[in-house]
Structure 1
Amino acid sequence: MRRRRSAPIIDRQPKSAAVNQPPQLLGGRIPMTSLLQTLAVAEYLNFRHAANAMGVSQSSVSARVKALEEDLGVQLFERHARGVRLTEAGRHFVERVTTGIDQLDHAVRTAGMVARGEHGRLRVGIHALIPGSFLAMLIERYREQYPGIEVEIAEGSARDSVMRLRANRLDLTFVAGSPEFPDCHARRIWSERLLAALPSRHPLADGVGVTWADLAGDTFIVREGGSGPQVHDHIVMRFAGSSPDLSILRFDVERSTLLSMVAQGYGVTIAGEATMLLHVPSVTFLPILDEFEPFAFSAVWSPHNRSPALRNLLDLAAEMGRSARSG
C-alpha cells in the first residue's frame, strides 16, 4: 500500500476522499499563511497592495487565495481590473477568520503571560491586613508589579489556612511564627517586635515597657481566629510553670473589636508592632522588655504548587524582607 506523504499545507486529496472527511476538520488543513494573506487582500482589496504589505510576491498571494477558494469550494473575491471585492460568502468568512485569529493571538499572548506569572489568579491566606504593615505593602507592591494577577485574600487562623492550602484552595498563606510542616514549604519573611496592648488607664501604661512578670496578674484576651491561637500558645509558653493562676479568655471577634475590648478593660493582649498602626483610642502599646527576639512571620505553600505567580510573590516577599532587615 502506498504511503501517504504528509504536507504542511492543505491536503490535496482526491475529491472522493475529501467527501468522506468531516467538514469540521477542514480548518485543520488550512495553513495560517493562506488565512493571513486572505485577510490582507480583504483589507486592501488589491492583490499587489496586500503582497507589498506582507513582503511577498503578488503571484504568491494570488495563488494562495485561489487555492483556498478551491479547497473551500467558495468564491471569496470577485476579481476586476482595478482590484477585488468581497463576495457575501467572502465577507462572512473574513469576519469569522478575523475573530478566530484574534482569539488565537490572545490565547498565545495569555499563555506566555501565565507562564511568566503575569496573568491569572493567586489565592493568599492572611491573619490580618493592617494598612501600612509589611504584609499590606507586600500585596500592594505585588499588585502594582503584576496587574494581570487577580489576588484573592482569605483571612483565617493558621490552622484553617493550612488546611485550605492542603486542599488546594489557597496558593500561599502567611502565618505568625516559624512553623514546620512535613508536607509544606515554609519560609520566614519578616519579623516584628512583640508589644503588650494595655488599657490606657492601666497602672503600667505610663511606663517605657513591661515584662512578662509585670503582666502575670492580668487577664489576657485573645481571638479565636486569625493569629489568636499562636498568641494564646505564646502566652502559655512564657508563663509555663510560673503563673498557675494564668487567665486567658478567647473571643470570636475581629482584631479591631478585640482592641476595643482592651480599651474597655476586658483585659490585656499582645500583638505585633504593626498593630500600633491601627491607632485605637484608649489603648497603649508597650514593648515587652524581656521578649528579646522579634516575632517571626512566615510564608507557607505546597511544594507541588508550580505557579509562576506564586514564585513571583515569594521572590518579592524575600526581597522586601531582606530590605526590612537591613534597614
Structure 2
Amino acid sequence: MRRRKLKQDSQGSVFSALLRGRIPMVALLQTIAVAEYRSFNRAARALNTSQSSISTRVKTLEAELGILIFERHAYGVCLTDAGRHFVDRITTCLDVLDDAVKTAGLAAQGEHGCLRMGVHGLVQHSFLAELIGAYRHSYPEVNLEITENTVRDALIQLHTSQLDIAFMVGTPILSDYHSRLIWIEPLVVALPDDHSLAERECITWADISEEVFLVRNSGTGPQVLDHIFMRLGRRPGPSILHAAVERGSLLSMVGQGFGITLLGAASSLTPTHGVVFLPIADEPDPVSFSAVWPVGNVTPTVQNMLDLADELRRSGEFICPPA
C-alpha cells in the first residue's frame, strides 16, 4: 500500500509542530485533562503536577495554534467552539495512537495479527484439531486462516509467502525450510461394517492386498497412495479408486462398499456410520506429522503455535488409540 506523504499547509499543522518539537505531546494531554476537569487546578492534581506548568503549556499551545481553546472564568474554564473542535479531534487521534501502540506490542508477541496455516485435513478430536482449538483459546486476537492442501501445494504456498506454516504427513528434510515432528498416530484401515474382515481385532497387509483402495486426490491422498505401493508393490499392484472428495465423503463411500481406505488412528475417535476401523498388525511405522515453515520466517505467531504444540504433546492430554 502506498504511503501517504506528510504535507504542511501555509499556516503549519499540529503534526508538523509535533515533529519539530514546538508542541510537546504533554501539552496535548494536559489540555485534554483541563477540558475534562474544567479546571486547571483539578487537572493539575489529577496529573500530579503544578497548575502553573499546565497553564503555561496551554497558553503556549493556544499561541502556536492561533486560537483560544478555553474561556477562563473565576469558577473554572470551558471550551470555546474552536477549542471543543480541537479537543475532540485530538482525543480521537490520541485514542488511535494508543490503540496502535498496544496493537503493535501484541503483534510483536504474536498475540495479534494473522496466522496462515496449511493442513492435510481436520479430524475431530485429532491432535491437530486440539492444537487449533488451544491456539484460538490462547490467542483470540489472532486471525487464523486455514487452508487444506497436499504437501506439494503447501510447499508452493510457503515458498510464495501465501502460508506461514504447514502441517503435513511425514518428516520432510527440505532446503530452505525448517521442519519439526509434532505428533504420530498408528495407521488404521477403514472397512465397511459388513466386510468379511470387520469382526477381527486387527488385520495384516496380506489380508487386504486384493482389496480396492479408495484414495483422495487432495489432502493426504498422495502420501496414502505412496504408502500403499510401498507395502504392496506397484506391478501387479493393488486396485486403486481415486476420488476427488473430502474425508467425510470418502468414509461414506467406504460404508457403501466402494472399497477400503487408510487413515490415521485419530479418525477412529469419531464414529462413522457403516464403517469400522482396524489396526494393521504388521505395519511397522506410525504415521508422522510435521510442522514445516520457511527458513528465516519464524514469526511470533508461528513460534507461539510451535510452542503450544510442544506443550500439548508434553501434557499427554491427547492420547491416540493404540494400534
Normalising by structure 2, we get a TM-score of 0.91
Paired residues of 2:216 and 2:242 also in contact (CA < 8 A): yes
Query: Match of 2:195, as an amino acid?
Result: H
Give the corresponding residue for 1:305.
Answer: 297
1:80 alignment partner in structure 2: 73
| Structure 1 residue 148, shift from structure 2 partner | 0.7
Q: Are 2:190 and 1:212 equivalent residues in the alignment?
A: no
1:61 shift after superposition: 0.6
Matched, 1:285 2:277: yes
Which SS does the other structure have where 1:271 is aligned?
Answer: strand
Q: Tell me the CA shift for residue 236 of structure 1.
A: 0.6
The yes-or-no answer on 1:70 pairing with 2:58 is no
Count, aligned residues: 309
Q: 1:190 aligns with which of 183, 196, 214?
A: 183
Show the counterpart of 2:4: none
Amino acid at match of 2:292: V
Structure 2: distance between partners of 1:116 and 1:225: 34
Report what 2:149 is aligned to. Answer: 156
Once residues 118 and 180 of structure 1 are traced to their aligned partners in structure 2, the CA distance between those partners, rounded to angstroms, is 30
Q: Secondary structure at the match of 1:238?
A: helix
Shift of 1:109: 0.5
Equivalent residue for 1:272?
A: 264
Alignment of 1:133-172 (within 5 A): 133-172=126-165
Provide the residue aligned with 2:253 in structure 1: 261
Check if 1:53 corresponds to 2:46: yes
The alpha carbon displacement at 1:19 in A equals 9.7
1:25 aligned to which of 16, 35, 51:
16
Q: Which amino acid aligns with 2:250?
A: L
TM-score normalised by L of structure 1? 0.90
Q: CA offset at residue 213 of structure 1?
A: 1.1
Whole-Å separation in 2 of the counterparts to 1:275 and 1:258: 12
C-alpha distance in 1 between matches for 2:60 and 2:81: 19
Q: Give identity over the alignment, percent.
A: 51
Larger Rg: 1
Q: Aligned partners of 1:284 and 1:164: how far apart in 2?
A: 35
The alpha-carbon deviation at position 22 of structure 1 amounts to 4.1
1:119 aligns with 112
Quickly say closer, same or farther: Cα 1:121–1:19, change in 2 above 3 A: closer
User: Partners in 1 of 2:9 and 2:149 — Cα distance?
Assistant: 62
User: For residues 253 and 200 of structure 1, what CA distance do their matches in structure 2 show?
Assistant: 21
Query: Is the 1:190–1:324 Cα contact (8 Å) retained in structure 2?
Result: no
Q: Structure 1, residues 142-201: CA drift from partner, whole Å, max 9, x if none?
A: 110111111111112121122111111111111111112112111110011100111122
Encode CA deviations 1:99-153: one digit per residue, 9 max, x unaligned: 0110010011111000011111111111111121111110001110111111111
Q: SS of the residue aligned with 1:217?
A: coil
Q: Does 1:251 align with 2:243?
A: yes
Structure 2, unpaired ranges of 5+: 1-7
Aligned with 2:250: secondary structure? Answer: helix
Q: Which whole-Å CA distance do the structure 2 matches of 1:129 and 1:245 have between them? A: 30
> Contact 2:312–2:318 (CA<8 Å) still a contact in 1?
no
1:306 is displaced (CA, Å) by: 3.3
**Is 2:115–2:145's contact at 8 Å kept on the other side of the alignment?**
yes
Q: Aligned partners of 1:325, 1:53: CA distance in 2, in Å?
A: 51
